[in-house]
Amino acid sequence: MKAICTELPDKVYEEVKLLVEKGWFKNEDDIVLEALRRFWISIKLN
């Protein structure tokens, strides 16, 4: 598996942490993977 390192605006990162804390995602990696998955689906449908 490959890794990607990225920077997020502070406000976005705080929202990511909050979603993980609330149990929506098991960790920060999962939310980024889900965002990429949804992006790929959206561009394939267009």
Give the mean model confidence (pLDDT) for residues 18-46: 93
Distance CA 5, CA 15 (A): 18
Helical H runs in the chain? Answer: 10-21, 28-45
Distance CA 29, CA 32 (A): 5
Distance CA 29, CA 4 (A): 10
Distance CA 30, CA 12 (A): 15
Full-prediction pTM beyond 0.85?
Answer: no
Give the mean model confidence (pLDDT) for residues 3-31: 96
* pLDDT band at residue 45 using 50, 70 and 90 as cut-offs: confident
- 16 within 8 A of 28, measured Cβ to Cβ: yes
